[in-house]
Amino acid sequence: MSSSNAAGAQMSGPPYQPQVAQLGGIPSNSVDTPICAVFLLLFIIAGAIHMTVLQVNLKRGHKFIFSGLLFGLSMARIVALTMRIVWANRLTNVNIAIAANVFTNAGVIILFVVDILFAKRIVRGYHPSLGRQKWYDSLFNTLVFLIVAMLFSLIGCTVAGFFTLDTNKRLAFRDFQRFASVFFAVLSFLPIPMVLLAMWWPSRLTTPTPKPEKFGTGKWRTKLLLLLSSSAILTLGAAFRAGISFMARPKTDPAWFHSKACYYCFIFLIEIIVSLTYAGTRFDKRFHIPLPMDGSSKSGVPRDEEQQLENGGAGADALPGTVHRRSMSLANIRSIESRITAENDFFGSGDSEGEAESENTTPRKESV
């Protein structure tokens, strides 16, 4: 009886039921609802963590928008899982199926963007001169624009495919979906070659090898491991989804890779692992650059070094010009002190208390 109702819903559209097997298949209350409930709880916890970290950091003047992005990922996944539970209870409602598919496809893009921007910071740490070029920022801004444009185009094709029975149009929409899935698979893999090329770029082979300009807290090696592992696991999920898009099967004969286990493992499980890993390792501190425009400054010096220079602590990492100006100011102070001493010798020094006071003030001047 339910199959006849589904067939009737398929022919009474639009929207129409898809004719090919979908990843995850048709949801059911007995299987999908408990699994979705577990993932709902996990994404609610992840969203609460990221929003709490974001609000606490904002109160401290610590702006880190990536916590907000991962909160948005959690919200998108909560909506997608909720729509799937509703779909399991209303199998003939194609509009709910459309909403579930749209939110499922949209959420993971946030993680791709986060990893690419983290890779951008790693590359700039290895090659500061490259990271301060305007075209470097423009390149990534263009890439983010292409990602957003591709996402909206994919959503449009996905929705349009439910509103036509024309075979040629459906094939065209499917071809674009395959192209988009390959694009996002390459996008998820992109941070890995970016970081590896930055590490082994020919300019790095000179001796002595310059150390990277560090940012945030924690070890540099931990940042690399965190980013590379995140990109690797996201690439696994994106490559799996891209691969099955080229192996279409009729919905009456789905393959093993269309199973519910693959659906939940290669989408939701991967994303919650990455989200909670970033939260647990305090990525808001490790990848934070306390400057606008992705941390670039007018002088090209990281913020912590700028604060060090403003405080007068030249140290080993200060700029040569700043060290020169500081040494000149100390030389001027010493010359003034020598002239005061000469005048005291000529006109006579003050009382012993005044001499003691001048002796006590001299070291404080040198430490300025």
361-367: average pLDDT: 36
Residue 209 confidence class, pLDDT cut points 50, 70, 90 = low
Candidate from 116-125, 225-234, 260-269, 298-307 with smallest mean pLDDT: 298-307
What's the pLDDT at 341? 52
Residues 6+ apart with CB under 8 A from 329: 368
- CB-based contact 125:213 (threshold 8 Å): yes
Domain positions in the chain are 2-296, 312-366
What's the pLDDT at 289? 86
Record the tokens describing residue 128, joined without a space.
Answer: 């500061």
Q: What angle do CA 361, 364, 368 make, to 5 degrees?
A: 140
Record the tokens describing residue 152, joined without a space.
Answer: 């909206």
Tell me which of 211 and 227 has the higher pLDDT.
227
What's the pLDDT at 33? 95
pLDDT in tens, 292-338: 444 444 433 344 433 443 444 444 444 444 444 444 455 555 555 55
Candidate from 236-240, 252-256, 316-320 with smallest mean pLDDT: 316-320
Residue 113 confidence class, pLDDT cut points 50, 70, 90 = very high
pLDDT in tens, 76-106: 999 999 999 999 999 888 999 999 999 998 8
pTM, full prediction: 0.74
HEC assignment per residue over 30-91: CCHHHHHHHHHHHHHHHHHHHHHHHHHHHHCCCCCHHHHHHHHHHHHHHHHHHHHHHHHHCC
60-86: average pLDDT: 94
Q: Could you give phi then psi for residue 139, rounded to 5 degrees?
A: -60, -45
Q: Decide which of 3.40.47.10, 3.40.50.300, 1.20.1070.10, 1.10.10.60 is the CATH code for 2-296.
A: 1.20.1070.10
